[in-house]
Amino acid sequence: MQQTPVLGNLDSLARCRLAHLPTPIEAMPNLTAAVDGATLLVKRDDCTGLAFGGNKIRQLEFYLGEAMQQKADTILITGAVQSNFVRSAAAAAAKCGMGCHVQLEERVPNPSEVYRRSGNVLLDQILGAKVYSYPSGEDEAGADRKLGEIARQLTSEGKKPYIVPLSPGHPPLGALGYVDAARELVGQLRQSRQSIDEIVVASGSGSTHAGLLFGLKALGCDARVHGVCVRRSAELQAPRIIDHCAKIAALLGCPNPVADADVLVDDWTLAPGYGRMNKAVADAICQAARTEALMVDPVYTGRVVASTIAMARQLRSDKTMLIIHTGGSPAIFAYEPELIDVTASA
């Protein structure tokens, strides 16, 4: 009997190549010296290309592959006002000659006018997306329903819309981009003869975290994958990752290599909430920039760097930690008022 590959049918699924791959792994000697603990590396998934890059480009390769297979001509997506996923979807749609309708949800309380105009919002408009607003940031079901209404209207106009889903209850197709990223990473480590003890990644929708964890476990990599919560508490995020991993196995038609105990998440950098900075994150943004010229955003990778620094200081120097830089650099400009204050006092 033919044995099922450890990554199942990954290579037979529809895929639209969008990303610049492989992304490099870089040493961070200056930040390592400043932290005085574990050796720190970074995988530059902010360098995936396509409209400022980021982790969502890997995910969209599978969504756009399915959309093209269905002969869709319009992409729809919902997300936060400064969503990297929304901006990336608008870019992917433009690259593939499709229209794009985006819905921006109010997830951050009392945002500045800069937040509403700059960063990813400006890029959405430059990319030609039609922008809608949704008043709640914590109503996934309602946001999905509204997006469905827009899709039905487009269908009545003769369009063929494809919705990129973000809420639970849908197959996590985008997570397959990070199952493939795990394969890429394992190959890079093997080629460089480098070992990694801990991998740290932002954990929001959960697709990047779950896909990476699933792929690494399936390929026999012993590195722990540590998810840093950026939107919800660890108590709520862990079950989400566990569920994603089960659904990835179903998508790929292979056994699930992830045990519940493999899902590691922390939320100590989350307060005061999604898209809002705290001192540890602000300090991490400045330290990454001033030691390694590494630009990290306040929402995702800034929190990852803050958590990594804290963990690295508790580890011996013979341990190695790898940060997954998931991008998000356009959002830095949306936080200009807060970051000006931070950099002036840092």
Say how far residue 236 (Cα) sits from the centre of its chain: 18
Residue 258 falls in which region: left (phi positive, over 0), alpha (psi -120 to 50) or beta: beta
Q: Are 201 and 208 in contact (CB under 8 A)?
A: yes
Q: Smallest Cα–Cα separation from 312: which of 119, 64, 41, 56?
A: 41
* Partners of residue 161 on adjacent β-strands: 74
Task: Quote the DSSP letter at residue 96.
Answer: T
Helix axes 207-218, 234-252, angle to 10 degrees: 60
Q: Edge-to-edge strands of the sheet including 25-27?
A: 25-27, 39-44, 320-325, 198-203, 224-229, 264-266
Q: Smallest Cα–Cα separation from 119: which of 171, 150, 83?
A: 83
Q: Between β-strands 25-27 and 39-44, what pairing exists: parallel, antiparallel or unpaired?
A: antiparallel
Q: What is the C-alpha to C-alpha distance for residues 159 and 71, in angstroms, rounded to an integer?
A: 10
Residue 255 burial by Cβ neighbours in a 10 Å radius (0-12, 13-18, 19+): exposed
83 is catalytic: yes
* Partners of residue 42 on adjacent β-strands: 26, 323
Catalytic residue, chosen from 12, 83, 118, 203, is: 83
Q: What is the C-alpha to C-alpha distance for residues 34 and 311, in angstroms, rounded to an integer?
A: 14
The residues carrying an active-site annotation are 83
